[in-house]
Amino acid sequence: MEDAPDTTGKFRSLDINGIFDLFDGTELPATTDEVLSEFGDVEVTYPRGGSEPLDAVLNASGRETYRTMDDLQLAVLNGVQRDAVGRPRYSDRDPPTMGETRDFRQSF
């Protein structure tokens, strides 16, 4: 699926990784209602499958006023489903456990 918005149908669908580009040019501060009046037709899709409407994502954080782009982006990240951004509680930055060795030359 492309990251370009589909304006031919009822909903525009964007991958979670490209959702922040959507907000470029948005005048801030803005309330949740103001953001949704412009982008309420956006469906956020997840890399591991599934999607949900942007209004559900932002409503998970509650009604608020976004003073900066960081505030708006944080509201989106806080509101997405757990599986939207990778495996829950997984980090490849954790130190090795006792007796474990890691080969950091590995390519992913």
Provide the residue count of the chain. Answer: 108
CB of 47 within 8 A of CB of 17? yes
| 3 has a pLDDT exceeding 50 | no
User: How many Cα atoms are found within 13 Å in the side-chain-facing hemisphere of 105?
Assistant: 0
Phi/psi at 3 (5° precision): -85, -5
- Parent domain of 36: 12-84
Q: Residue 75: exposed, middle, or buried by beta-carbon count in 10 A (0-12, 13-18, 19+)?
A: buried
Q: What is the domain count for the chain? A: 1
Does a structural domain hold residue 33? yes
pTM: 0.65
Q: Which amino acid is it at 25? A: G
Does a structural domain hold residue 20? yes
Does a structural domain hold residue 51? yes
Does a structural domain hold residue 25? yes
Residue 12: the pLDDT is 66
Q: Quote the DSSP letter at residue 18.
A: G
Does a structural domain hold residue 37? yes
The tens digit of pLDDT for each residue in 38-95 reads: 998 998 887 777 888 999 999 987 889 999 998 998 898 888 876 665 555 555 666 6
Does a structural domain hold residue 57? yes
